[in-house]
């Protein structure tokens, strides 16, 4: 009798599980639990500290290489990092090697710089998408205007005040690569390791464990992983955003998965040994 019930439980139509997940997540969005992520991982802290120590006016590259498919994880990271950079009065140059990112970048920078009264061309610049990341990264070692002669609107980049004194990696204080692709690896490979440019990254939670070796070797100065990384960074800059509200809603769904795995395994053990 028990065995039949357990068998039925294990063979439950997966659509019930889908429905359960929908209810859990949607419920948490409609009625937030109010949980705040207070644990800050070492890698996020390192990223924050590195940026915090940069002197005002330093030129920072933001390489935003994510498209809508990973935006819920990575856009909050990009917003938090951009806010931190603008608050520290750093000069920001935005590049991208993901074609789907251009729309997200423009929408992000239509909002965030205004919060800090930052002006396009004076405090930040957005460069157009380039199809070959390797070519662009290699080119930036000698003369970035070889590939980035114009900004996203086709205006001359070199003459903009934000680019004053910036020619190649020697003039770049930090690269922050927020990517749903292999881009952080390319930055480490083509800019960090070879030319000594400090690189840090924001990546999807899926790829986060893969960057451990670079962190240990200090090839990456810091790393934000997924929505948790965004929530942590938001906590550090004391400006809650989508990362903080998201991690609250994700809590229940995570506990649900743990519960399901444990229940199914207990059921399996009972069926096998009893």
Partner 1 sequence: MSDTFLIAGAWISAGLTIFLFSFLYKDNPFFKVAEHLYLGAGMGWWAQVYLYGVLRPKVWAPLMNHDWMVLVPTFLGLSLITQFIPGISWISRYGFTFLMGYGAGLELPTKLATDFVNQIGGTIQPFVNVAGMSSFALFNAVVIAGGVICVLIYFFFSVEHKGAVKKASNVGIYFLMIYFGASFGNTVMARFSLLYGRFDTLYTFSASKYLYATQFILAGLAVYFIVHALMNRGKKEIEPAQ
Partner 2 sequence: MKLIKKQIPLAIVLVFGTLTLLTYFVPHKRSVNFLETMNKWENIVAAFAFFLGLINLFYSHYTKISRKADGWGYSIFVYIGFLAIAIPAYVSHGKNMDGSVLTWMGWAFKYIYNPLSATMFAVLAFYIVSTAYKSFRIRSLQAFVLFAAAMFLILGNVPLGQMIWDKLFGWTSYAISDIVDWIMHVPAIAGKRGIMIGIAIGVVVTALKIIFGIERQYLGKD
Pick between residue 68 and residue 161 the one whose CB is nearest to partner 1: 68
Strand order in the sheet with 174-179: 124-126, 91-95, 59-65, 174-179, 199-203, 223-225
Q: Which residues of 214-233 are buried (b: 16+ CB within 10 A; e: fewer)?
A: bbeeebbbbbbbbbbbbbbb
As a whole number of Å, the end-to-end CA separation of the chain is 12
174-179 and 124-126: which strand pairing? unpaired
Residues 31-70 that bind partner 1 (CB under 8 A): 69-70
Q: Which stretch binds partner 1 (CB under 8 A): 34-42, 123-131, 171-179, 263-271?
A: 123-131
Pick between residue 29 and residue 260 the one whose CB is nearest to partner 2: 260
Residue 37: strand, helix, or coil: coil
200: left (phi over 0), alpha (psi -120 to 50) or beta: beta
**Interface pick for partner 1 out of 257, 262, 263, 266 (rule CB under 8 A):** 257
Q: What is the DSSP letter of 168?
A: S
Pick between residue 57 and residue 68 the one whose CB is nearest to partner 2: 68
CA-based nearest residue to 25, from 251, 186, 272, 264: 251
Minimum distance from CB of 56 to partner 2 (Å)? Answer: 26
Residues that bind partner 2 (CB under 8 A): 10, 14, 17-18, 21, 33, 35-39, 41-42, 67-72, 100, 102-104, 106-107, 110-111, 114, 130-132, 134-136, 138-139, 142-143, 146-147, 153, 194, 205, 208-210, 212-213, 215-216, 226, 228, 247-248, 250-258, 260-261, 263-265, 268
Minimum distance from CB of 217 to partner 1 (Å)? Answer: 3
**Interface pick for partner 1 out of 189, 195, 240, 264 (rule CB under 8 A):** 189
CB-CB contact of 169 with 190 (8 Å): no
Pick between residue 27 and residue 212 the one whose CB is nearest to partner 2: 212
**Interface pick for partner 1 out of 126, 172, 188, 236 (rule CB under 8 A):** 188
CB-CB contact of 83 with 239 (8 Å): yes
Instruction: State the binding partner of 17 from partner 2, partner 1, none, CB within 5 to 8 A by kind.
Output: partner 2
Report the run of H or E that residue 94 belongs to, with start and end. Answer: strand 91-95
Distance of alpha carbon 13 from alpha carbon 39, whole angstroms:
37
199-203 and 223-225: which strand pairing? parallel
Binding site for partner 1 (CB under 8 A): 13-15, 18, 21-22, 25-26, 29-30, 69-73, 99-100, 102-103, 128-131, 134-135, 138, 150, 152, 154, 185, 188-190, 193-194, 204-206, 208-210, 213, 216-217, 219, 225-228, 242, 246, 249-250, 253-254, 257
């Amino acid at each position: 009798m028990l065995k039949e019930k357990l068998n039925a439980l294990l063979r439950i139509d997966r659509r019930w599980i889908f429905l359960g997940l929908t209810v859990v997540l949607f419920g948490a969005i409609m009625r937030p639990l109010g949980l705040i992520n207070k644990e800050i991982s070492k890698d996020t802290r390192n990223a924050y500290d590195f940026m915090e120590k940069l002197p005002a006016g330093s030129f920072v590259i933001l390489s935003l290489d994510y498209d809508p498919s990973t935006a819920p994880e990575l856009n909050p990271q990009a917003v938090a990092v951009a806010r931190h950079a603008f608050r520290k009065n750093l000069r920001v140059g935005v590049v991208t090697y993901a074609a789907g990112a251009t729309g997200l970048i423009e929408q992000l920078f239509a909002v965030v710089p205004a919060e800090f009264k930052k002006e396009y061309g004076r405090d930040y610049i957005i460069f157009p998408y380039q199809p070959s990341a390797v070519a662009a990264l290699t080119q930036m070692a000698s003369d970035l205007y070889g590939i980035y002669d114009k900004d996203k609107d086709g205006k001359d980049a070199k003459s903009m005040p934000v680019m004053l004194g910036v020619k190649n990696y020697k003039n770049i204080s930090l690269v922050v690569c927020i990517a749903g692709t292999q881009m952080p690896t390319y930055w480490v490979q083509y800019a960090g390791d070879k030319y000594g440019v400090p690189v840090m990254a924001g990546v999807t939670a899926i790829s986060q464990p893969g960057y451990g070796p670079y962190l240990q070797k200090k090839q990456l100065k810091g790393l934000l992983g997924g929505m948790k990384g965004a929530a942590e960074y938001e906590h550090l800059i004391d400006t809650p955003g989508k990362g903080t509200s998201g991690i609250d809603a994700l809590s229940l769904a995570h506990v649900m998965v743990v519960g399901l795995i444990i229940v199914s395994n207990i059921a399996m053990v009972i069926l096998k040994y009893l």
